[in-house]
Amino acid sequence: MQKPRGIVIAGNWKMNHTQEETQNFFSKLQCTSHPQVKCIAFPPTTSLQTAVAASRDLPVEMGAQNVHWEKTGAFTGEISGPMIRELGISHALVGHSERRQYFGETNETTRLRTESLLEQGFQVMLCIGETQEQYEKGQTSKVLIEQIQGAIPKADSGAAPYLDGRLLIAYEPVWAIGTGLTATPQQAEQAHQVIRKNLWDRFGIEASGKTPILYGGSVKPSNLAELLDGPNVDGALIGGASLKPHDFGEMLQIAAQKMSEDAAS
C-alpha cells in the first residue's frame, strides 16, 4: 500500500502525566526512527517544558493541546502562541471533540485558532468528527464537511495558504474516542476520502494531496496496522494507548515497518 505522505503517529495525552510521569515516559520510550514516520506528542501544558527537555535525543516533535488565537491579552487561564514557541513547541491541537463538547469550542473558534496558529508558523492538527447520534442518522459526511469548511472556509483566506503539509487533519468519530469502539478500516478510509475530496474540490489536487489525514478513536497496537492500510489514512492520533511508553513505542515501530514495506513494494 503506497503511503505518499508518510505516516504521522501522534499522542494526545489529554489531562494526564505530571512532570515526573513525563520524565519517566520519555526515559522508557523506545523510539524507532524512520525518515517518513513523524512522531508528535501533545502533553498537558504544565509538562511541555519537561517533555521538550526529556525528549531532546528522540525524534519526537512536541505540541500543545489548546492555544488561544490572540498573542496576548485579558484571557484568564489561556496560553498563546508566543508562550509555547518559547518552550520549543512546534504543533498545536485544535478543535478536539472534548474541547467542543465540554468547553464550548465551535467551528468559529476552531477557525480563529487554526488561522492564527498557522499564520504564527505552527503546524496545526485540526480535529473533526461526528457524534454517535449524527453517525446513527447517517450524517457523517455532512458533519465532516461542515466542520472542515467551518475551520478552513475559503481558498483565498486564513488557513488555505498552509495546505502544504503544515495543516494536518484528524478524523476522530466521537463515538470511538475512549470507548474501545474503533471505526472499521473501511469506515475510516471512507471518511478520509470525503475529507480529501472536499479539500480537492475547494483547494485543488496539490493542496489536497499534501494534507495528512489521521484517524483517531481507540487506536492501539493491535488495530493500527489495518487502519493504516487505507490509502487515505496517513497516521493516527492516539489518546489512551499513547500514555504507555511501551504501546506508543510499538505503534511507532508498526508505522516504520509499514513504510519499509511500502518502499519495498
Which residues in this chain contact ligand PGA in the complex, by CB under 6 A?
12, 172, 177-178, 216-219, 237-241
105 a catalytic residue:
no
Please tell me the chain's helix, strand, coil percentages from 3-state DSSP, rounded to the nearest 5: 45, 15, 40
Minimum CB–partner distance for residue 114 and ligand PGA (Å): 17
Minimum CB–partner distance for residue 73 and ligand PGA (Å): 28
Minimum CB–partner distance for residue 98 and ligand PGA (Å): 7
Task: Report residue 215: phi and psi, to 5°.
Answer: -100, 145
Catalytic residue among 115, 172, 192, 250: 172
Q: Closest Cα partner for 250 from 2, 9, 1, 5? A: 9
Is the Cβ of residue 51 or residue 238 nearer to ligand PGA in the bound state? 238
Catalytic residue among 96, 98, 130, 192: 96
Longest dimension (CA), the chain: 55
Minimum CB–partner distance for residue 155 and ligand PGA (Å): 28
Q: Closest Cα partner for 249 from 51, 30, 8? A: 30
Which residue of this chain has its Cβ atom nearest to ligand PGA in the complex? 239
Is the Cβ of residue 12 or residue 110 nearer to ligand PGA in the bound state? 12
133 a catalytic residue:
no
| Rounded CA separation 210/168 (Å) | 9
Is the Cβ of residue 12 or residue 208 nearer to ligand PGA in the bound state? 12
Q: How many CB atoms lie within 10 A of CB 156?
A: 7
Active site residues: 96, 172
